Amino acid sequence: MDIQALAQEIPVEGEYSLEGIDFITSGEQYLTFLLETEQYAVDILCVEEIRSWERPTKIPNAPSYVKGVINMRGVIVPIVDLRLKFGIGEANYDETTVVIVLKYESAEQGRTIGFVVDAVSDVLNAEENEIKNAPAFGGIIPHHYVNGLVNVGEGVVTLLNVEALQQIEAHTIG
Amino acid sequence: MSVDLSQFIPTFLEESYEGLALMESSLLNLEQGDDETINSIFRAAHSIKGGAGTFGFGHVTDFTHLVETLLDEMRDGRREIRSEEVEVLLESVDCMRLMIDAIQNETDYDNSSIDVTSEKLELLLSGSLSDDTGADTPVETSKNASSWQIIFIPEHHLVQTGNDPLLLFNALEDLGELKVNAIVDSLPSLTEMDVEELYLQWELQLFSDSVTEQDIREVFEWVEDECELEVTPVSFDEPETESTSLDETSETAEVKQPNDETPSPEVTAPNIEPEITPSPAGAPVTENKEVKVATKAKPEGGSIRVGVDKVDSLINLVGELVITQSMLSELGNDFDLSKVDKLTAGLEQLLQNTKELQESVMRIRMLPISFAFNRFPRLIHDLAKKTGKDIELIINGENTELDKTVMEQIGDPLVHLVRNAVDHGIETAEKRLAAGKPEKGTVWLDAYHQGGNIVIEIKDDGGGINRDAVFNKALEKGLIEPTTNLTDNQVFELILEPGFSTAKEVSDISGRGVGMDVVKKNIQALGGRIQVDSTPGEGSTFKVNLPLTLAILDGQLVRVGEEVFVVPLITIVESLQAKSENINRVSGDMILYRLRDENVPVIPIFQLFNLPADSQDVDDSLLVVVEADGQKVGLMVDDLLAQQQVVIKSLKDNYQDVSGVSGATILGDGSVAMILDIPGIIQMALDIANKKQKEKQLKMQNEGALI
Amino acid sequence: MAKVLVVDDSNSIRDMVSFTLKGAGYETVEASNGQEGLTKAQSGAFDLVISDVNMPIMDGITLCQELRKLPSFKFTPILMLTTESSTDMKMKGKAAGATGWLVKPFNPDKLLSTIKRVIR
């Protein structure tokens, strides 16, 4: 019996994870959304679903931007209002308010969290070389949440770091 | 074909643990001449040895071999069962467990204790007339030949043992090119022939450079006593000198699949030389190849062995559920009001199915508490030896079933309570005799179901807890005020408080000043509670009340403003409408409610959790009186809703732990409700009260300084 | 498809034997002691029996003796799984009617190559 040979036959996890996605593109795809009038984007592979606002169940003594939790097919998912978190725009809730549910799996844990945004706008293709470093100064959003900037026409889209967003414990400090 | 052996390792580990537990408990009960018990101990060791060898844990095999040999002597009556042997065997069980643990956790272990025990075992064995050593006869390494002549004369009854010469020849053919020649000399006449007998003999020729005599003999290993077998090399290292002589004297035939039971009598065969000698019964040696096992098999999730009956019942229930579902969906296709009755009946059925299914699934996770109890006889045995006390352990209700997760987490607290009973509970023999008690102390372990809970009692017939000593100690430690009015049980339960230890001397068994509070904490973490009862001179009882499962909880739904919360039913003492004459405000903001002769602090949930509520006034509000740690509090809520079972979901998966909340659940309408953590809430309220008091004191001091 | 009865009180060994045999295209029926094995043996025809020796309730030697009393098992190969490499246990097995034995520890490859001696 040769374990080594057997191990080589077993595909490494992730190797085939893109199988079945039938778009051909160079570079990564991002889902862009609006906070007030500013454009932000997250890696589309992290987007679990986009759902409309529903009143969540409050979490006792949670920070104001953690709106509570909802039941998403039996999973308890916390809802974070990015507008409150980053202090951009008004936090009003109506039928058009959108929640982007993001799932990010790191080595230690996988987390699913819903983020309230003003509107979902588009899917953005961005090559590695199109992504610019964010300037070190300015901006309301702490630096570690930002992966980079992409110019789209006249505007700028801020790419957010999903892993950092998922560190909800850090939210209570930041 | 390649089979990944690592997939069987979790099962091997599981059964090894079971085997070790069985060995241990049987060793503790072992009496002279108890054959069945020794046999079962032997079998357990034997199984572990076999499995360890197969799955590549040679160190376990080697060690267990010593244990097995000793047990074998005891089993055969060659060795007396003395306490010396039993002690060494118990020690060996510990060593084996250490090694199995190391495999499970993929860690190293301390070799020294194993070496010490190995030596003890070897010492015991060397003193015996062990004839077990060197059973394996060394096999000479045969020289290679390019061709072998094999003469095979089976006894007539060979086929009746299930052996088939043809298959043996097939196996030979795997070693090299084979020529087979059947000899029909001893074939009787047709009338005398017994169809179940084998009358043929064979002369075979095997051509191969790499085959040894041993390889060939191994093929005939199982029949060597039922045949005459001669294996002779035809030529050494001269592949070209094919045994022409043989060709001349015998007809050869390629192996096909001739039907050996109907041999054709017409075949004429040459005589076999008469000098055929019986083959020496050399013991075969199997290749002891170390099987490399990928030790990635992490039994982290753990596995449960489930009886087929439990699975069958699940399948039946799912079948019923499918029928109900199809009935309901058919009903939904063209529903009108005339079918409401049918709908109601269908929904009723669905409810029933779901309930049964739930119970059935929960039952799968249930294990008898003997899994947690089985370590105690050994523990008592060791503790008794260490403390010099004579102690008997009586276990009742070991078949009481409990959720596997709860079981795994209750083990350590129970160990601590039992140690405590032996160390602090049971008195020394002199004291017992002086008190007119039997010299032998008794510890009882009882388990039984009560409502939706399991109760585990740890009882001793020792000296009991000295109320005054505990009270004074608690005073000294600042746990209580001199004026604190406490019931006896509340005093006894002080010994579960952090930093409390009544032992005058710190013993190495339990009194390390830590422990009892950890016990309480662990039990509470499981959603359970612990009570202490004691009678001076007669003994103490620790009563642990645990939920049967961690996954489901009986809850009372309450409403505060817009939010619904679940209060665990097990914590609720009563619910009542607050009457204003019973409400007292003391020391500022503290609200006490007079419940009969007790003053119960009121905790307004809306305040604690910072929520809007219908009413902020305690007068006429609803109070849910709950109890944890012997402390009653009244939770002020806006409304009492239904009671129902809820499935507990963690908030930690996607968020984090939240103070005052033990988890969340999904209600019938799909919304989420928080489950209140009663001990946590009491702690929160205490912290807030303390903080307020300190602020006030600080303020007063400052004001004093100003004046 | 050849059908094999696998009798062993050790779940891991039984799983391993059964898994290996299934992987090689055999059908298997499992039993955890001699008594259960005997009962299952009577439920159908088998092409091979592989049994442990040391088992609770009924050991492998007794199972072997009992099986040989059944007409349908008169010629069925029966292999004993054993850790005792001593001649003693093998002789006992042979006397009880066993066809042969497999000495533990063994690996799946060894198992498959060995049973080829008694099963097509």
CB distance A81 to A87 below 8 Å: no
Question: Cα-flanking dihedrals φ and ψ of residue B52, to 5°?
Answer: -60, -40
What CATH class does A25-173 carry?
mainly beta
The residue ranges of chain B whose pLDDT is under 50 are: 129-142, 237-300, 503-514
Assess A140–B contact: CB distance below 8 Å, yes or no: no
| Amino acid identity, position B448 | Y
Selection from C61, A112, A99, C113 nearest residue B175 by Cα: C113
Q: 0.80 exceeded by the pTM? A: no
Amino acid B105: pLDDT = 84
Q: What is the C-alpha separation between B326 and B417, in angstroms, rounded?
A: 53
**CATH assignment of B552-692, given 2.40.50.180, 3.40.50.720, 3.10.620.30, 3.40.50.300?**
2.40.50.180
| Amino acid identity, position B246 | L
CB distance C73 to C67 below 8 Å: yes
- Show residues of chain B in contact with A46, CB under 8 Å: none
Amino acid B676: pLDDT = 94
Calculate the dihedral angle through the C-alpha atoms of C40, C41, C47, C52, rounding to the nearest 10 degrees.
Answer: 80
Highest mean pLDDT among A31-40, B71-80, B249-258, C74-83: A31-40
Nearest CA-CA distance, residue A77 and chain B, Å: 6
The DSSP output letter for B144 is P
Amino acid B295: pLDDT = 36
Look up tokens 């075949």; give the residue. Answer: B267
**Cβ neighbours for B104, distance < 8 A, ≥ 6 positions apart:** B13, B299
| Amino acid identity, position A81 | D
Length of chain A: 174
Q: Is the ipTM of this complex over 0.85?
A: no
| Amino acid identity, position B675 | I
Q: What is the C-alpha separation between B30 and B425, in angstroms, rounded?
A: 27
Report, at the CATH architecture level, how domain B368-547 is classified: 2-Layer Sandwich (3.30)
Q: Residues B575, B577, B582, B585: is their CA dihedral positive or negative?
A: positive
Residue contact C85–B135, C-beta within 8 A: yes
Q: What is the C-alpha separation between A62 and A56, in angstroms, rounded?
A: 13
Selection from B100, B10, B6, B14 nearest residue B299 by Cα: B10
Q: Which residues, numbered 156 to 185 in chain B, qualify as contacts with chain C under a Cβ-Cβ cut-off of 8 Å?
A: 159-164, 167-168, 170-171, 174
Nearest CA-CA distance, residue C114 and chain B, Å: 8
Q: Which two tokens stand for residue B297?
A: 């098999």
Select the more confidently predicted residue: C111 or B269: C111
| Amino acid identity, position B137 | T
**Cβ neighbours for A99, distance < 8 A, ≥ 6 positions apart:** A50, A51, A52, A53, A79, A114, A115, A116, A117
Look up tokens 């592979």; give the residue. Answer: A45
Question: Cα-flanking dihedrals φ and ψ of residue B561, to 5°?
Answer: 60, -125
The DSSP output letter for B280 is P
Q: Which helix (H) or strand (E) holds C21?
A: helix C11-23
Assess C24–B contact: CB distance below 8 Å, yes or no: yes
Amino acid C88: pLDDT = 74
Residues A16-36 have a mean pLDDT of 64
Q: Which two tokens stand for residue B59?
A: 């160190």
What is the Cα Rg of chain A in Å? Answer: 18
CB distance B409 to B415 below 8 Å: no
CB distance C47 to C2 below 8 Å: yes
Q: Which two tokens stand for residue B449?
A: 């179901």
**Burial classification of residue B440, based on how many CB atoms lie within 10 Å of its CB (0-12 exposed, 13-18 middle, 19 or more buried):** middle
Q: Which chains lie within 8 Å of chain C at 3 or more CB pairs, if any?
A: A, B
Where do the domains of chain B lie?
A: 5-126, 147-254, 308-364, 368-547, 552-692
| Amino acid identity, position B31 | E
- Show residues of chain C in contact with A2, CB under 8 Å: none
* DSSP string of chain A, one letter each residue: --HHHHHHHSPPTTTTTTTT-----SSEEEEEEEETTEEEEEEGGGEEEEEE--PPBPPTT--TTEEEEEEETTEEEEEEEHHHHHT-S----STT-EEEEEEEE-SS-EEEEEEEESEEEEEEEE-GGGEEPPPSS--SS-GGGEEEEEEETTEEEEEE-HHHHH-HHHHHH-
Assess A18–B contact: CB distance below 8 Å, yes or no: no
Q: What is the C-alpha separation between B184 and C65, in angstroms, rounded?
A: 31
Where do the domains of chain C lie?
A: 3-115
Q: Which helix (H) or strand (E) holds B12?
A: helix B9-28
Interface test with C, best of B17, B40, B54 (most C CBs within 10 A): B54
Strands A47-52 and A66-72: unpaired
- Show residues of chain B in contact with A1, CB under 8 Å: 2-5, 291-292
Q: What is the C-alpha separation between B678 and B572, in angstroms, rounded?
A: 10
> For residue range A126-166, what is the model confidence (pLDDT) as tens digits?
888 888 887 766 667 788 888 888 888 888 899 998 888 88
Selection from B598, B634, B424 nearest residue B509 by Cα: B424
Interface test with A, best of B2, B652, B654 (most A CBs within 10 A): B654
- Is CATH 3.30.70 the classification given to domain B147-254? yes
Residue A77: count other Cβ atoms within 10 Å of its Cβ.
Answer: 25
- Show residues of chain A in contact with B653, CB under 8 Å: 75-76, 111
Assess C43–B contact: CB distance below 8 Å, yes or no: no
Tell me the CA end-to-end span of chain B in Å, nearest whole number. Answer: 93
Assess B485–C contact: CB distance below 8 Å, yes or no: no
Nearest CA-CA distance, residue A108 and chain B, Å: 12
Q: Which two tokens stand for residue A164?
A: 């950092």
Assess B377–C contact: CB distance below 8 Å, yes or no: no
> For residue range B341-368, what is the model confidence (pLDDT) as tens digits?
888 888 888 888 888 888 788 778 888 8
Residue contact B164–C77, C-beta within 8 A: yes
With residues binned 3-state (H G I as helix, E B as strand, rest as coil), the percentages for chain C, rounded to 5, are: 40, 20, 40
Nearest CA-CA distance, residue C80 and chain A, Å: 23
> For residue range B407-424, what is the model confidence (pLDDT) as tens digits?
888 888 898 899 889 888
Q: Which residue in C has a C-alpha nearest to residue A1's C-alpha?
A: C109
CATH number of C3-115: 3.40.50.2300
Calculate the dihedral angle through the C-alpha atoms of C4, C9, C10, C16, rounding to the nearest 10 degrees.
Answer: 10
Nearest CA-CA distance, residue C1 and chain B, Å: 17
**Burial classification of residue B49, based on how many CB atoms lie within 10 Å of its CB (0-12 exposed, 13-18 middle, 19 or more buried):** buried
Let me know the angle formed at the C-alpha of B85 by B79 and B91, rounded to the nearest 5 degrees.
145
* DSSP string of B578-623, one letter each residue: PPGGGEEEETTTEEEEEETTEEEEEEEHHHHHT---S---STT-EE
Amino acid C84: pLDDT = 61
Amino acid A107: pLDDT = 64
